[in-house]
Chain A
Amino acid sequence: MPDPTTANLWHPIAACADTPVGTPQRTTLLDTPITYTLHGEGHATAASSSMLPVLIRYGYIWTSLGTPTADLFDIPEYAEPDRRRFNAASVSVHVSAPRAVENFLDMSHFPFVHTGILGAEPHTEVKEYDVETSAERDEVLATRCRFFQPQPSTAADQGAEVEYVYRVPHPNCAILYKSSVIDETRRDVIGIFVQPVSQERVRAHMLVCVLDDRSDDETIKRFQQTVFGQDKPILENQFPKRLPLDPRAESPVRADRVSIAYRRWLSAKGITYGVIPAA
């Protein structure tokens, strides 16, 4: 059984655009088989042994096995009409949800795993960045993250030093804000919304909400799926598959400051699902 905090969270179960309308679909959330149906514009139902609460937000169907104590986090940029917004990928990965989130927050692997796209040797340094855990907003925030990227997005012609902000507003969801290559005053938004299938298996849904007036959806999807496909074998080879929350379990380096904050935040929430709790 998931811990109460996890059970009461909203979790994504599918992208609306990828779900046939009017036909019941099956999926699994937190070891629980779920049947759901998308009925049409803005309406869906879901049930396990009883009816479940449903929310449609950011192009996804969300549900909860418990009683959600809070509304889903806000992404104000999603409402901006000139953005391209859609599910870029739904990828099954044999790993725990917090490991998947933590990988999304990590920059140090870019040159080695996403060679030629999100990083390249010798630009391997993770420069000093700031991390804050906000009690008021109940989220972890990493700012001033800078990294040289050969191909920051589908809208980019050349490499650039890109600035990132990472936001973790939900134990199994993270959002990154990345300087736009076509409008320096605004940021591309990419979200990873993880659906824990079990403690060691996930479906990771990736939202893009980007400024790109020249690439078609297929090009953006292929870019994101290529990057995600590169992460998959790395994630699946992490052991233990559950994220250890004991600070002594793994040896962090300076580049891991956001991971440390994330692990502490999960500990403070009393989360035990998909993690190895600190003794």
Chain B
Amino acid sequence: MITFYEDALCENCYAVRLLLHMLAVPYTSHFIELYPSRANLQPRFRAINPLAELPVIDDDGVIIAGAAPILVYLAAKHAPGTWYATDTPALAQVTHFLTLAERLSATVGAARRHESGFAPTDLPAAHTGATRLLRGLDAHLWFAEQQGNAWLLPTPHPTIADLACFPHVILCEEGGISRQPYPALRRWCDRVKRLPNFLVMPGVFLTAPPKTE
């Protein structure tokens, strides 16, 4: 059984929680409060992850830290070929978006953590960086839609690339960044929300179901 160390309000933990639910992998959750008590800095948690960062999973003794590595681990183990790519160009593309998600975390996420009181940052710099990345992602998705693709990778099934980027995009308004200028991003957010076993977190709301005949 997987033990999942997480904070309910952490967007990087949300990416992992989404995949656990979509794969229907059972787990027990262990709450590590990042703010205000900073339970992640306690020796008890540092013994699990010396970097004192969330999320972390412990899969029967295999400890993996960080959203991207956990997503790779879970998807490669439970759903290779769907949630995780196995062919060469797709592997590189997934890695591209996992890296992009880290950059979203450092800009969009940093703005949100600043506004939430978690961690002060250089807000104008975070907004500038966020705008550049969101604009690029919106353009990528617009072209993808023109090619008939719904997801970040040109695959019929969504991948961990989508789940890694989604939390940052859907919570950007908590960092004072509007999604208004990014219509393709907004449509993609709705598609992610309509996936089977989708799960909300505080700050994320369900979307209307697709129109049925």
Contact = CB atoms under 8 A, between A and B. Distances in A.
Q: Do the two shown chains form a genuine complex with each other?
A: yes
A90 interface: yes
B5 to A, nearest CB: 11
Interface string A88-118: 0111101000000000000000000000000
Interface in B101-131: 115-117
Contact of B8 (A18, A87, A90, A222): A222
B158 to A, nearest CB: 24
Given A17-B37, A92-B115, A94-B176, A225 B8 contact: yes
A219 B31 contact: yes
A225 B202 contact: yes
Interface stretch (A123-131, A158-166, A228-236): A228-236
B58 interface: no
A14 B201 CA distance: 26
Interface residues of B, number: 20
A232 B202 contact: yes
A94 B174 CA distance: 9
A236 B174 CA distance: 8
B36 A90 contact: yes
A226 B9 CA distance: 7
Q: Is the interface of A mostly helix, strand, loop or mixed?
A: helix
B201 A229 contact: yes
B33 interface: yes
B117 A92 contact: yes
Nearest to A116: B200
Interface string B188-207: 00000000000001110100
Interface residues of A, number: 24
A221 interface: yes
A230 B31 CA distance: 18
A225 B9 contact: yes
A110 to B, nearest CB: 15
Nearest to A26: B120
Contact of B203 (A15, A89, A94, A230): A230
A221 B35 CA distance: 11
Interface string A214-230: 00001101100111111
A11 interface: no
Contacts of B37: 17-18
Contacts of A85: none
Nearest to B116: A92
B173 interface: yes
B54 to A, nearest CB: 13
Interface string A1-36: 000000000000011011000000000000000000
A236 B171 CA distance: 13
Given A91-B117, A219-B31, A233-B173, A226 B36 contact: no
Nearest to A225: B8
B153 to A, nearest CB: 29
Contact of B9 (A15, A18, A94, A229): A229
A230 B173 contact: no
Contacts of A227: 202
A94 B33 contact: no
A203 interface: yes
Contacts of A15: 36
B41 to A, nearest CB: 10
Contacts of A228: 202
B8 A91 contact: no
Nearest to B29: A222
Contacts of A18: 36-38
Interface of A: 14-15, 17-18, 87, 89-92, 94, 203, 218-219, 221-222, 225-230, 232-233, 236
Given A15-B36, A228-B202, 4 more contacts: A225-B33, A229-B201, A230-B203, A233-B173
Nearest 3 pairs between A and B by C-beta? A229-B202, A92-B117, A18-B36
18 contacts: A14-B36, A15-B36, A18-B36, A90-B36, A91-B116, A91-B117, A94-B176, A218-B30, A218-B31, A218-B33, A219-B31, A225-B8, A229-B202, A229-B203, A230-B202, A232-B203, A233-B173, A233-B205
